[in-house]
């Protein structure tokens, strides 16, 4: 009886945000019965943007730290820009994508537990994620330690590989912050505490701008100093999120460290690895372009131009990734609450909204293609090459605006392993071979390779669309409720 009473206590506490959402849900259902589709869409959009908006801002803020660092490095020398670009858009990008994907397992588990009002389970899931992700972050350290020989093996010049290897070693602290940064974000996000994430991320970005200016311009510490600014700013954000979560910000979901977090690690491990593979393969895919740039003439120019394009793409990708997070949370919440129709409707609204934003950014890239690279470099040769690649960049952004949302459906339902296999097939069995074939067949070189890789993304999007259209929403809602009930019972 004591345990049940404790579980019921959060339900007796008045939460204005939750009460408002429940009222909106009841209103949406009433309007739905009346057939008011516009009203339903408006209410769902408000819920979606309440998660997606702060999530996008926090992702943009954190990624902007890397962009700012690249911008400072680019005004030092072309070699420094190439080194920080390789380290941040290839090495860090792979570990970033893998650990970010692993953390998305929390969107499934915490989202469904929150929807089922099993609040105490969120803290246990969070602690499990720290254990699993930190161990994996240690296993990924050889990528940083042996960055120079790996890059030389992949064809990078000795100068670029050696400088990138030095930067990679100094970015290890940033890498080790990922397990805590990503999991704490999802822990708070699933409780709709996205405003806190946005404020902390924005504060860390402001500090990063000042620290970067101080280290690079005033203290003249060079490329190593730029790496140290990233380490400091990422850990500042992670510690801010940790302090809020454990020092009273989440009284019902964080009840202290628990030995229960040590149980069920294997199940969490399997779901996390599937999530990690799913997002890592997706996140690393277009970074292949930077690697193959080593085989073209004027290596440093090619690396710089492609790194700028991929950075802009990754920067814009924070918006679809925000919708991935929002879709994952909304679908998980509705499935956990047993509302299959709500989960399906949330998916539809998210896909359409992301598509509109994708078209907007496609228009911006096409309209300002000559000025894209000016914030990164003043080199005429780099500016000219980025201008040549702008059309491909615009279409890459457009075709990548839908599939993150569809991946969010898989995250909400716990289907990450399925998407991981789809990514392998679409990207690396279709996209990469087609890119190699077109690069060999056509004289346009890097543009042909890039066009082939876009085809892989199109295949992935089509497959995910078919799977989503055939999704059995009622069955998934039943599975989510059974899982949460069993998990809560085993931990009691």
Alpha-carbon Rg for the chain, nearest whole angstrom, is: 22
CB 319 within 8 A of CB 353: no
Cα distances from 285 to residues 271, 282, 289, 324, 464, in angstroms, run 22, 5, 8, 18, 17
pLDDT tens string 391-415: 888 888 888 888 888 888 877 777 7
Q: What does the alpha-carbon distance between residue 22 and residue 47 come to, in Å, rounded to a whole number?
A: 11
The mean predicted confidence, pLDDT, of the chain is 80
> pTM above the 0.75 mark?
no
Q: What does the alpha-carbon distance between residue 381 and residue 368 come to, in Å, rounded to a whole number?
A: 18
pLDDT tens string 220-255: 777 788 888 889 999 999 999 999 998 888 888 888
Q: Give percent above pLDDT 70 in the chain.
A: 85
The residues, ordered by sequence, that sit 6+ positions from 29 with a Cβ below 8 Å of its Cβ are none
Q: Could you give the 3-state DSSP secondary structure of residue 141?
A: coil
CA–CA–CA angle 440, 442, 446 (5° rounding): 75
The DSSP output letter for 261 is G
Query: What's the whole-number mean pLDDT along residues 459-474?
Result: 87
Tokens of 159: 């100068």
pLDDT at 175: 93
pLDDT at 271 over 60: yes
DSSP run (H or E) holding 338: none
Q: Could you give the 3-state DSSP secondary structure of residue 144?
A: helix
The residues, ordered by sequence, that sit 6+ positions from 221 with a Cβ below 8 Å of its Cβ are 215, 228
pLDDT at 200 over 90: yes
pLDDT at 308: 79
Region of poorest pLDDT, from 28-32, 83-87, 205-209: 28-32
Q: What does the alpha-carbon distance between residue 310 and residue 306 come to, in Å, rounded to a whole number?
A: 6
Name residue, tokens 């690249």.
70
- Greater confidence (491 vs 426) lies with 426
- Greater confidence (165 vs 277) lies with 165
Tell the burial category of 467 from Cβ atoms under 10 Å away from its Cβ (0-12, 13-18, 19+).
middle
pLDDT at 199: 93
The highest-confidence range among 6-15, 193-202, 362-371, 471-480, by mean pLDDT, is: 193-202
Query: Domain locations in the chain?
Result: 38-491
pLDDT at 81 over 80: no
Q: What does the alpha-carbon distance between residue 424 and residue 430 come to, in Å, rounded to a whole number?
A: 9
CB 309 within 8 A of CB 388: no
């Amino acid at each position: 009886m004591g345990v049940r009473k404790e579980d019921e206590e959060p339900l007796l506490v008045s939460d204005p945000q939750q009460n408002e959402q429940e009222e909106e849900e009841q209103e949406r259902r009433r309007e739905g019965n009346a057939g008011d589709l516009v009203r339903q869409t408006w209410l769902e959009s408000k819920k979606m943007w309440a998660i997606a908006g702060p999530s996008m801002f926090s992702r943009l803020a954190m990624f902007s730290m890397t962009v700012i660092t690249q911008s400072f490095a680019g005004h030092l020398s072309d070699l420094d820009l190439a080194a920080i670009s390789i380290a941040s858009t290839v090495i860090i990008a792979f570990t970033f994508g893998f650990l970010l994907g692993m953390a998305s397992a929390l969107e499934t588990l915490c989202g469904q537990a929150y929807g089922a009002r099993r609040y105490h389970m969120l803290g246990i899931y969070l602690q499990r994620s720290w254990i699993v992700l930190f161990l994996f972050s240690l296993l990924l350290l050889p990528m940083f330690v042996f960055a120079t020989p790996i890059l030389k093996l992949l064809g990078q010049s000795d100068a670029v590989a050696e400088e990138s290897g030095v930067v990679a070693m100094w970015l290890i602290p940033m890498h080790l912050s990922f397990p805590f940064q990503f999991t704490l974000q999802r822990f708070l996000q699933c409780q709709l505490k996205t405003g806190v994430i946005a404020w902390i991320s924005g504060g860390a970005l402001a500090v990063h701008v000042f620290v970067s200016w101080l280290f690079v311009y005033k203290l003249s510490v060079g490329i190593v100093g730029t790496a140290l600014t990233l380490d400091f700013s990422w850990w500042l954000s992670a510690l801010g999120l940790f302090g809020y979560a454990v020092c009273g910000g989440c009284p019902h979901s964080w009840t202290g460290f628990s030995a229960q977090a040590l149980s069920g690690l294997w199940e969490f491990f399997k779901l996390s690895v599937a999530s990690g593979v799913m997002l890592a393969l997706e996140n690393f895919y277009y970074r292949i372009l930077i690697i193959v740039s080593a085989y073209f003439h004027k290596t440093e120019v090619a690396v710089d131009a492609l790194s700028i394009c991929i950075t802009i793409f990754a920067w814009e990708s924070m918006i679809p990734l925000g919708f991935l997070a929002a879709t994952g949370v909304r679908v998980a919440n509705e499935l956990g609450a047993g509302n299959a129709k709500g989960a399906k409707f949330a998916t539809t609204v998210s896909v359409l909204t992301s598509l509109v934003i994708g078209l907007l950014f496609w228009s911006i890239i096409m309209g300002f293609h000559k000025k894209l690279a000016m914030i990164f470099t003043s080199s005429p040769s780099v500016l000219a090459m980025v201008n040549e690649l702008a059309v491909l960049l615009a279409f890459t952004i457009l075709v990548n605006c839908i599939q993150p949302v569809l991946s969010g459906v898989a995250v909400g339902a716990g289907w990450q392993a399925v998407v991981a296999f789809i990514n392998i097939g679409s990207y690396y069995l279709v996209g990469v071979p087609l890119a190699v074939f077109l690069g060999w067949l056509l004289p346009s070189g890097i543009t042909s390779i890039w066009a082939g890789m876009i085809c892989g993304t199109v295949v992935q999007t089509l497959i995910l669309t078919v799977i989503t259209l055939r999704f059995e929403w009622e069955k998934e809602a039943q599975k989510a409720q059974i899982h949460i009930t069993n998990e809560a019972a085993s931990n009691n």
